[in-house]
Amino acid sequence: MVRVLGISSNADGSHLEDDLGGFEGKGKYSDPEFSWRQSVAPTAIAFLSSDKLGKQYENDIFVGTVNGGNIFKFDLNNNRTELVLE
């Protein structure tokens, strides 16, 4: 069994998915859409589907962390299918 966490690029520029095969036809590996440079140890994630904190936060994602006790806010696209990152 092969377990993969994180980005599949190796130090030599090759890609780990080349070595994974086809997951017996049941799937395909893809790199994460987002990752932190430093470990933040996420502890909770919440999708705010109301405007109780203000209209500017409606439909956003909030992530709480152990390291530093931070709360991060991420915007979602209109379909709520991916993060809007700059």
User: Is the pLDDT confidence value at 2 over 60?
Assistant: no
| Band (11; pLDDT cuts 50, 70, 90) | low
Sign of the C-alpha dihedral computed for residues 29, 33, 35 and 37 taken in this order: positive
pLDDT digits (tens, 9 = 90+) for 48-76: 888 899 999 988 999 999 988 999 999 98
Same-domain status, 1 and 14: yes
Same-domain status, 25 and 52: no
Same-domain status, 28 and 49: no
pTM of the model: 0.63
What's the rounded Cα separation, in Å, for the pair 24 and 35? 27
Name the residue with higher pLDDT: 57 or 12.
57
Range of the domain at 18: 1-32
Q: Identify the pLDDT of residue 15.
A: 64
Same-domain status, 76 and 59: yes
